[in-house]
């Protein structure tokens, strides 16, 4: 979906907030709620912790070669997937868009949506 079409939807639906959302390694939804007036500036990359990808469902840090120790618990830049934008009916005046992590400009290869996308590319 084109950015201008999304901006039109935000205006037409009186959207006040946009959830920049992802599923962590256990399928738990994590997000950052941003006022819609900041959507245009955040859609091309929003800072969010990479730490969510190294925690178990109870919030305990999982040790391993993923990122936590390697990156010093750094934030990543999470890139929006414009095709996933939608108005969500269960939260008034709110929309969501799915995001995927990058670290130093490179997609995080352990992220489940990244792995799925690579597998789909192989299938094609």
Tell me, what's the pLDDT at 58? 60
Tell me, what's the pLDDT at 50? 75
Which CATH code for domain 3-123?
3.10.20.70
Query: What is the rounded CA–CA span in Å between residue 68 and residue 82?
Result: 28
Question: pTM, whole model, 2 decimals?
Answer: 0.79
Q: Are 71 and 50 in contact (CB under 8 A)?
A: yes
Per-residue pLDDT of the chain in tens (124 residues, 90 and over written 9) = 899 999 999 999 999 999 999 987 777 888 999 999 999 999 999 988 777 666 555 655 555 545 555 556 667 788 999 999 999 999 999 999 999 888 778 887 777 888 888 999 999 9
Query: What is the rounded CA–CA span in Å between residue 67 and residue 109?
Result: 11
């Amino acid at each position: 979906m084109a950015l201008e079409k999304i901006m039109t939807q935000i205006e037409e639906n009186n959207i006040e907030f946009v959830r920049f959302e992802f599923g962590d390694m256990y399928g738990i939804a994590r997000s950052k709620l941003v006022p819609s007036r900041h959507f245009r500036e955040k859609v091309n990359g929003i800072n969010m912790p990479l730490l969510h990808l190294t925690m178990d469902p109870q919030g305990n840090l999982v040790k391993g070669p993923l990122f936590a120790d390697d990156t010093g618990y750094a934030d990543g830049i999470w890139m929006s997937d414009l095709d996933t934008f939608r108005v969500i009916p269960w939260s008034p005046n709110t929309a969501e868009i799915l995001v995927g992590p990058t670290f130093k400009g490179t997609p995080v290869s352990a992220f489940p949506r990244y792995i799925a996308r690579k597998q789909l590319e192989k299938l094609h």
